[in-house]
Amino acid sequence: MELTGLVASGSSYLERSSRPLADQTCVYNITTHIAESLVVASITECKAPHKLPLGYIYEGLEDMELEEAICCKDIDPPQQHARWFSTVAINQAFSYFVYEYGCVCTGEASVFLRISDDPETVYYLLSVPKGDVGESTG
């Protein structure tokens, strides 16, 4: 599986579960007045900033083979360690959704995810509000 940069919007169907998955938030569109008929708009994987620091996200996101990055956890260079943490968070979100769109959120950063026609490639867009907007907006 590859990881590359991009994002857009869409939807997919989901059957309701009686129990939410850990760290997961789903956004639904209701297609009819029947509550059982929901369309998943996106899924968000929430991580505490101390578990997935912003520095790890900056260092870890780049074009990569996810299987390679996950298997190399014990390699010494800090960038490889950061890559492993970023990859695991994205892989966890991917395994939850297999919907077209998702997100990993730490409170400091959001990584928007998209799976296009090739299910082996996950596209991402990193958004860091502090860096995107700066100290003031005006």
Q: Which pLDDT belongs to residue 75?
A: 60
Residue type, 134: G
Q: What are phi and psi of 110, to 5 degrees?
A: -125, 135
Q: Are 111 and 90 in contact (CB under 8 A)?
A: yes
Q: What does residue 74 show for φ and ψ, rounded to 5 degrees?
A: -85, 5
Would the pLDDT of 102 be above 60?
Answer: yes
Mean predicted confidence (pLDDT) in 101-123: 85
d(CA 99, CA 3): 16
Give residue-wise pLDDT tens across range 20-29: 455 666 666 6
Please state which of the ranges 5-9, 13-17, 50-54, 113-117 shows the lowest mean pLDDT: 5-9
Do 84 and 91 contact (CB within 8 A), yes or no?
A: no
pLDDT at residue 83, as a whole number: 78
Is the predicted pLDDT of residue 3 greater than 70, yes or no? no
Query: Residue 58 corresponds to which amino acid?
Result: Y
Report the distance separating Cα 91 and Cα 45, nearest Å.
10
Q: Which two tokens stand for residue 14?
A: 């989901």
Q: What pLDDT digit, counting tens, does each position of 41-81 carry?
A: 667 777 888 888 888 888 777 776 656 665 655 566 767 77
User: Among all chains, which residue has been given the structure tokens 């990859």?
Assistant: 87
What are the tokens at 25?
């938030």
Q: Which residues pair with 74 in a beta bridge?
A: none
pLDDT at position 125: 92
| Residue 97 phi, psi dihedral angles, 5° rounding | -100, -45
Q: List the structure tokens of 133.
A: 């907007």
- The closest alpha carbon to 106, from 34, 44, 59, belongs to 44
